Amino acid sequence: MSDLPRFVEILEEGPREGFQAEPPGIPVAAKLELIEALAETGLAEINCASFVSRKVMPQMADAEEIAATVHRKEGVRYRGMWLSKNGFLRAANSGLDLMATLSASASDTFLFKNNNRTPEQYLAEQEQMLDLFEAHGLKNGPVYIFTAFGCNYEGAIDPARVVERTAPLLDLLAARGHTPSHVTLCDTIGSATPEAVRRAMGAVRERWPDQPIALHLHDTRGLGLACALAGLEMGASRFDASVGGLGGCPFAGNAAAAGNIATEELVLLCESMGLATGIDLARLVEVVALAERIVGRPLPSRLAKAGLFQPNPARA
């Protein structure tokens, strides 16, 4: 029997992780145009904004305005992101469709360098976030595991450590009656390889056979879609991806970090394997041109550059 999922969920990260990596100054109207065009492609979930410090991340200072003014298409969930209790409270007030998202880092060094927390301290904060989610009626969200494949300080991450750092979070959620929608393994620093994806996913599946797994991949070193293929074959049923490959991760301590895998290339891969995504690929490829106009440069997507394969029998 195949491990392939029947339907692949995609969380579009372009307007959030993508624009977050751009210089400040993209007009709200342009962001809204992109989000609304993405919603017309069949994408069911779009991450619209980060509710983070306006000083540290002026690119996202318009989060409330985006949330308040975006035209909502029925059936589409408009997501938001945050890094702190205060950020969550802003997001909760914004009216976006939030998920009860918790996180852990597979690399303790990365966690300490980026969050100044030990795993125990960070877990305690996650428990406080869970209190807050429950108070706002949110439950059963995803669990994000950062640096699940590699860390820019520690190097390759042992799959056993992914399990070790995921377990306390899943135990906490189980004790509180939550069923996590997904464990999302994140290639935070862009070092994932297909084999690393298989090993990490295999370890998580071995420990929690019924837990759906998602992947947050970057195409930093050209293996992003190969990692997605390996992930699909291991049963990954959800991906974070970014239209055109827009974006990067400014927190990863690596100036060369590339954006997420391109949503349209992921959809092409899924379609070629007979896996449904609900997305109109031709329409999505057209939206890449809009994203490129907004950022004023070509995006990494090769599919968008070449266009869909359209044989022309009339010329034969």
Residue 56: how many CB atoms within 10 A of its CB?
10
Please, which residue, 62 or 264, has the CB nearer to a second copy? 264
249 in active site:
yes
Closest CB to a second copy among residues 20, 107: 107
Residue closer to a second copy, measured from CB, 127 or 154 = 154
Least distance (Å) between residue 80 CB and a second copy: 28
Find, among 166, 162, 9, 27, the residue nearest to 79 by Cα. 9
- Closest distance of CB 312 from a second copy, Å: 6
SS3 of the chain: CCCCCCECEEEECHHHHHHHCCCCCCCHHHHHHHHHHHHCCCCCEEEEEEECCCCCCHHHCCHHHHHHHCCCCCCCEEEEEECCHHHHHHHHHHCCCCCCCEEEECCHHHHHHHHCCCHHHHHHHHHHHHHHHHHCCCCCCCEEEECCCEECCCEECCHHHHHHHHHHHHHHHHHCCCCCCCEEEECCCCCCCHHHHHHHHHHHHHHCCCCCEEEECECCCCCHHHHHHHHHHCCCCEEEEEHHHCCCCCCCCCCCCCCECEHHHHHHHHHHCCCECCCCHHHHHHHHHHHHHHHCCCCCCHHHHHCCCCCCHHHC
The smaller minimum CB distance to a second copy, of residues 158 and 195, is found at: 195
CB of 267 to a second copy, least distance (A): 11
Q: Shortest Cβ distance from residue 295 to a second copy (Å)? A: 17
Shortest gap between Cβ of 162 and a second copy (angstroms)? 17
- Cβ closest to a second copy, residue 162 vs residue 262: 262
Nearer to a second copy, 63 or 287 (CB): 287
Sign of CA dihedral 295, 222, 110, 105: positive
Chain residues that interact with a second copy, rule: CB under 8 A = 109, 113, 150-156, 189-191, 193-196, 219-223, 225-226, 228-230, 253-254, 256-258, 262, 265, 268-269, 272-274, 300-303, 305-309, 311-313, 315-316
Question: Under 8 Å CB-to-CB from 180, ≥6 apart: which residues?
Answer: 102, 140, 141, 142, 143, 170, 173, 211
CB of 254 to a second copy, least distance (A): 8
Find the helix packing angle between 263-272 and 224-233, rounded to 10°: 40
Query: Could you say which of 48, 227, 249, 270 is catalytic?
Result: 249
Q: Which amino acid is at 314?
A: A
Least distance between a second copy and beta carbon 2 (Å): 12
CB nearer to a second copy: give 193 or 211: 193
- Active site members: 249
